[in-house]
Chain A
């Protein structure tokens, strides 16, 4: 009888764990899509008392929205998507009938990742996959003036933001070049390692390495049968040693920086982020960022790290590439991939212990653009509304079901996350996966100037397979949520 009880416990436990290793991935992008994209507000569920409607459709890779003094919305289209698909980055005015007017166009240096409007001008983050990141100032008649150029954004992640601080300065962020500090096969697959074989992560201050190196094939030279060894914060194929110092400089990777509205050299605000995509200030001037956490890929894969909402304190290091929140990546078995060892730490010394996260989002949810509700008439004043692009499985790691593809609200005092706008259905997922006309991949959320409406930027269809990303043009949507 005791044996039976033990057997029961073993079988039931096996059932709970779902035998992760033998199950395939079932991400939201792992589906098929036949254009045109269906649009149907009634396929989206909201809390009682709210409604949602499409404002503009057939956008190509939209990433951000801003408003002028009259409350007119403007959208930026990225001009680039994972999957190495290049289009033209554009700033579009959204007319009352949903039609668009082009205000400005960029070159082949996307993705434009966000926009903010301030004192009659637009400020745009140019991701800079080919030429390096930039912050652009754009007048209402479309004249583009770069405020800063050559930001280190030619890797996995780009230049993001911007946001205008209470000091009137332009805050922007820079994502890191790699997944977890080491250039490897995943970066070759993404496309940039072949273009820029010397590119790597740059620390903001001097760091001392533990000297871990990672052996791989020589992806840059396909004819070579030799293996190469690559260390942290170094170009592909360059070995590092214990105690080696890597000089820090600004601009750098994985950081929040700021410049004046007239440009000039960047000033470091905080660092140790991975991909701080979303940025927003609260009405009392506190900066929050959403930080996309590690993937299970490349030479140093990391399992099970949810995206983080941080309250940013100047001068603080936030843990990348050795921590997830307050926990080091070699903590017990928490971050060991299914087919590998737990990550070893790359830094011999850490600048500080990372602060406690405000909230932790689901693993691979790609929690991105955010804004704070300010108007009690809309509700949930003081809470952060966050757009979740959704998983990019299997490229970034395996999931058993789609993760993200929704808008959530966060109580920044308790860290409790509640769904706000999701697709209807027995399971969660993007509209293309569910076969409905609802949300696809929300990437930004921003309130109108009067706080009565929450606009949601929906990037559109981005499929994923073992070959990588397959973005679909003219599938992006701008949604608007209001009280009934």
Chain B
């Protein structure tokens, strides 16, 4: 059972490293985003302020692409708060828990788009 679990983890890791298809979600490539819910709209502004510098539009830049990988919300939160690797950590002074929820909602909407 443990071996199976480990295999699943390694497979997921490989999948996340390579990505699943193009990460491009910009309007010229993927068309305009559908109308945004209030939470998604708030998340979009936060994404521009905190994330897009290193993950431009969700694509790879200084950091890896995040729109072509099936990352669960809890893992994104973990990464944002802990800042593992080259990514800096963002405490609740920078991004409140509510804002982080909005941010995740937007990232998921962006991932679905295109």
Q: Which residues of chain A have a CB within 8 Å of any CB of chain B?
A: 4, 7-9, 11-21, 45-48, 303-306, 332-336, 338, 359-365, 397-401, 403, 414-422, 424, 426-428
Determine the chain B residues whose CB is within 8 A of the CB of A15 once the complex forms. 12-13, 16-17
CB distance from A223 to the nearest CB of B (A): 38
CB distance from A334 to the nearest CB of B (A): 4
Nearest-neighbor residue (CB-CB) of B85 within chain A: A17
CB distance from B67 to the nearest CB of A (A): 12
Decide if B79 touches A400 in the complex (CB within 8 Å): no
Contact of A16 among B9, B44, B75 (CB under 8 A): B75
Decide if A20 touches B56 in the complex (CB within 8 Å): no
Determine the chain B residues whose CB is within 8 A of the CB of A426 once the complex forms. 21-22, 24
CB distance from A356 to the nearest CB of B (A): 9
Determine the chain B residues whose CB is within 8 A of the CB of A417 once the complex forms. 48, 52
Interface residues on B, range: 35 or more
Decide if B64 touches A17 in the complex (CB within 8 Å): yes
| Most B CB within 10 A of own CB, among A306, A397, A415 | A306
Contact of B2 among A4, A362, A400, A414 (CB under 8 A): A4
Decide if A11 touches B48 in the complex (CB within 8 Å): no
Decide if B84 touches A17 in the complex (CB within 8 Å): yes
Contact of B79 among A7, A16, A304, A421 (CB under 8 A): A16
Please tell me if B100 contacts chain A, counting CB pairs below 8 Å: no
CB distance from B90 to the nearest CB of A (A): 9
Decide if A428 touches B24 in the complex (CB within 8 Å): yes
Please tell me if B112 contacts chain A, counting CB pairs below 8 Å: no
Contact of B48 among A48, A336, A398, A415 (CB under 8 A): A415
Question: How far is it, in angstroms, between the C-alpha of A111 and the C-alpha of B9 when the chains are bound?
Answer: 53
10 contacts between A and B (CB under 8 A): A13-B84, A16-B66, A18-B64, A18-B85, A304-B54, A304-B88, A333-B83, A365-B61, A415-B45, A420-B27
Nearest-neighbor residue (CB-CB) of B28 within chain A: A45
Determine the chain B residues whose CB is within 8 A of the CB of A4 once the complex forms. 2, 5-6, 9
Determine the chain B residues whose CB is within 8 A of the CB of A45 once the complex forms. 28-29
- Encoded as 1 (CB less than 8 Å from any A CB) or 0, chain B from 35 to 72 comes to 00000000011001100111011011111111001010
Nearest-neighbor residue (CB-CB) of B25 within chain A: A419
Given contacts A16-B71, A332-B88, contact A415 B32 (CB under 8 A): no
Nearest-neighbor residue (CB-CB) of B21 within chain A: A426
Decide if A17 touches B86 in the complex (CB within 8 Å): yes
Decide if B89 touches A16 in the complex (CB within 8 Å): no
Nearest-neighbor residue (CB-CB) of A303 within chain B: B86
Chain A to chain B: the 8 pairs with minimum beta-carbon distance, closest first: A17-B85, A419-B26, A306-B53, A401-B60, A20-B86, A45-B28, A15-B16, A18-B64
Decide if A401 touches B69 in the complex (CB within 8 Å): no
Determine the chain B residues whose CB is within 8 A of the CB of A303 once the complex forms. 86
Nearest-neighbor residue (CB-CB) of A21 within chain B: B86
Decide if B75 touches A13 in the complex (CB within 8 Å): yes
Decide if B10 touches A400 in the complex (CB within 8 Å): no
Determine the chain A residues whose CB is within 8 A of the CB of B84 once the complex forms. 13-14, 16-17
Question: How far is it, in angstroms, between the C-alpha of A257 and the C-alpha of B6 when the chains are bound?
Answer: 62
Contact of B63 among A7, A9, A18, A332 (CB under 8 A): A18
> Across the A-B interface, how many residue pairs have beta carbons closer than 8 Å?
160
Decide if A416 touches B45 in the complex (CB within 8 Å): yes
Q: Which residues of chain B have a CB within 8 Å of any CB of chain A?
A: 2, 5-6, 9-10, 12-13, 16-17, 21-24, 26-29, 31-32, 44-45, 48-49, 52-54, 56-57, 59-66, 69, 71, 75-76, 78-79, 82-89, 91
Decide if A12 touches B54 in the complex (CB within 8 Å): no
Determine the chain A residues whose CB is within 8 A of the CB of B54 once the complex forms. 304, 306, 362-363
Decide if B78 touches A13 in the complex (CB within 8 Å): yes
Decide if A12 touches B13 in the complex (CB within 8 Å): yes
CB distance from B36 to the nearest CB of A (A): 10
Given contacts A45-B28, A306-B54, 9 further A-B contacts (CB under 8 A): A8-B12, A13-B82, A16-B16, A363-B62, A398-B62, A399-B60, A400-B61, A400-B62, A416-B44
Determine the chain B residues whose CB is within 8 A of the CB of A400 once the complex forms. 60-64
Decide if B6 touches A333 in the complex (CB within 8 Å): no
Determine the chain A residues whose CB is within 8 A of the CB of B9 once the complex forms. 4, 7-8, 11-12
Determine the chain A residues whose CB is within 8 A of the CB of B48 once the complex forms. 359-360, 414-417
| Most A CB within 10 A of own CB, among B16, B62, B79 | B62
Determine the chain A residues whose CB is within 8 A of the CB of B29 once the complex forms. 45, 419, 422, 424
Determine the chain B residues whose CB is within 8 A of the CB of A13 once the complex forms. 75, 78-79, 82, 84-85
CB distance from B105 to the nearest CB of A (A): 16
Question: How far is it, in angstroms, between the C-alpha of A13 and the C-alpha of B9 when the chains are bound?
Answer: 11
Determine the chain A residues whose CB is within 8 A of the CB of B44 once the complex forms. 416
Decide if B27 touches A419 in the complex (CB within 8 Å): yes
Determine the chain A residues whose CB is within 8 A of the CB of B76 once the complex forms. 16
Decide if B12 touches A420 in the complex (CB within 8 Å): no
